[in-house]
Amino acid sequence: MKIALGCDHGGFGLKATVLALLRELGHTVEDCGVMAGETADYPNIAADVCSRVASGAAERGILLCGTGIGVAIAANRNPVIRAALCSESFSARMSREHNDANVLCLGGRTLGPGLAEEIVRIWLSTQFVGGRHVQRIALLQE
């Protein structure tokens, strides 16, 4: 899968863990920065990653900031993005099964690497179940 990955300075440490896992799993990663932990404004990073998902250049996006909250708020401003902030595995699974989330948001200052890896693995391997959820997702775009 082609995945756009981005973070601000608050998510930079955890981004390395996520990037390594994505490559280990065989995904193609477009690393949208930040590249060296430099201070960045999370709305700009989120807009970059989300525009790649919206255009089809990437199938999914993963965003990190300190809490994951800022990037989630920013990502969901894009009308075709369904961004889910996940801090445990049940939400990661449900965000795919029921919400067909196309962007995952993680908190670099709230998650340890093991839990973050578990969330990413589940989020990438869980399919949307469709059915009654299709019409609910369609309502989000009205």
State the minimum distance, in angstroms, from the CB of residue 58 to ligand RB5: 22
CA proximity to 22, closest of 31, 13, 34, 11? 31
Nearer residue to ligand RB5 within complex by CB, 10 or 100: 10
Select which of 7, 32, 50, 65 is catalytic.
Answer: 65
CA proximity to 23, closest of 5, 48, 42? 5
Amino acid occupying residue 110: T
Tell me how far CA of residue 70 lies from CA of 36, 42, 77, 82, in angstroms: 20, 7, 11, 14
Cβ atoms 106, 116 nearer than 8 A: yes
Q: How far apart are CA 67 and CA 39, in angstroms?
A: 15
- From 14-22, 54-62, 65-73, 124-132, give the range in contact with ligand RB5 by CB under 6 A: 65-73
Query: Is residue 105 flagged as an active site residue?
Result: no
Q: Give the residue, chosen from 46, 66, 104, 116, that forms a contact with ligand RB5 under the rule CB under 6 A.
A: 66
The answer to whether residue 106 forms part of the interface with ligand RB5 (CB under 6 A) is no
State the minimum distance, in angstroms, from the CB of residue 28 to ligand RB5: 26
Residue nearest to ligand RB5 (CB): 70
The answer to whether residue 6 forms part of the interface with ligand RB5 (CB under 6 A) is no
Query: Is residue 27 flagged as an active site residue?
Result: no
Tell me how far CA of residue 102 lies from CA of 15, 16, 67, 79, 109, in angstroms: 18, 21, 19, 12, 22
Q: Give the residue, chosen from 8, 78, 86, 124, that forms a contact with ligand RB5 under the rule CB under 6 A.
A: 8
Which positions are annotated as active-site residues?
65, 98
Residues in contact with ligand RB5 by CB under 6 A are 8, 10, 42, 65-67, 69-70
